[in-house]
Amino acid sequence: MDRFRFPAYIQLGNNRYRERYGLDFEDFKVGQIFRHRPGVTISQQDNVEECINTFNQAMIHFDAHYAEQTEFKRPLVDTTLIIQRLMGLTWKTYYRRKRIVEWSCIDMLAPVFGGDTLYVETEVLFVGANLKDSESGLIEVSLRSFNQNQKKTCEMRCSMLIYKRDHLPFSAKNY
Amino acid sequence: MKDSLHFLREVEPNTYIETCGVDFEDFEVGQVFEHRPGHTFSEASCLNYARHSFDLSPGYSDQRYARRVYGDRVRVPETFVLSAMALTTRTFGKVVANLSMTDCKVKTVYAGDTLYLESEILGKRKSKSRPDQGLLHISSHALNQDGACVCSFERKLLVYRRNLGPYERAGY
């Protein structure tokens, strides 16, 4: 049975709604699983541009003729691009994030190629203490990505600080 | 200096081909590589990187909000800081694939900062299941222009063994 949770709007008036995303720190519970949508299809052009933006010189990502001679037969999508997109795709639930503290592990389980589509799921592993004098709290999540064939391509653990209820700046103004 | 620690190879008299990365055989436990050049993060590149992540949370998309929360300087997205690992690819260019990373710590970095990477070889062994490849265990640190460590991580990656990779076939 589906049950709708967490309003995406604050109702400001009879017919006026303001978008409002993200869980407050207090809303996170160990064991919650979030399936993030939409997913994203990564292209080989994205891969090349990531290498340009980060000064990546590993030709496995952008020399297709070279890549053809490897066991993969085509360019591999760069790890930093995968991490960027996977973290970004979780924004709707983790909108109230203050910052990422660390990734305790990142495992690349299967190769990703241009044309593959990635979907992300996160699971809350740890929720830190709600300290009175702090505007945010620490959570740790497991992030898993699956491609269009439901194959798990990446798994990581990420710790981040999330603002507490009414502690997100602008929250007084219904931001 | 060992063979693959050169960037040119003379293939016939007076003709050179550029090399891409150190061979597995020439890595030794304890070696430290200082990667150059560094990477200066500009405001535009930070906002561009954040936009390309599909992240719509307000820390980057809404600079009025971001200034109020984080101050006047644009923060470098944490995933962009971590991407500084790409600066190690000149040394680890013979990578087969990146297998895993652990203890990836990121501190706040601001637009205008320049990061320099250095990597230490913690371990190496031949792969049993992939006889043409070896496994490297590497610890890397990103230092800013003042020498402060702002990001660190350990990594395990596969690299091709000498003369066993795709290089000759690919014209490398």
Does residue A171 have a pLDDT over 70? no
Nearest to B116 by CA among B93, B91, B146: B146
Average pLDDT over residues B7-12: 96
Provide, rounded to the nearest whole percent, the portion of chain B with pLDDT above 70: 100
Under 8 Å CB pairs connecting chains A and B tally to 142
Residues B116 and B142 sit within 8 Å (Cβ to Cβ): yes
- Nearest CB to A102; choose among B39, B93, B106: B106
Write the CATH number of the domain with boundaries B23-165. 3.10.129.10
Classify B131 as helix, strand or coil.
coil
| Cα B57 to Cα A95: distance, rounded to the nearest angstrom | 5
Q: Do the chains contact at B57 and A95, CB–CB below 8 Å? A: yes
For the stretch A31-90, pLDDT in tens is 999 999 999 999 999 999 999 999 999 999 999 999 999 999 999 999 999 999 999 999
Nearest to B20 by CA among B41, B4, B40: B4
Q: What is the pTM of this model?
A: 0.94
Q: Do the chains contact at B172 and A40, CB–CB below 8 Å? A: no
How high is the ipTM of this complex? Answer: 0.92
For the stretch A78-130, pLDDT in tens is 999 999 999 999 999 999 999 999 999 999 999 999 999 999 999 999 999 99
Q: Which domains does chain A have, with CATH numbers?
A: 22-43+89-173 (3.10.129.10)
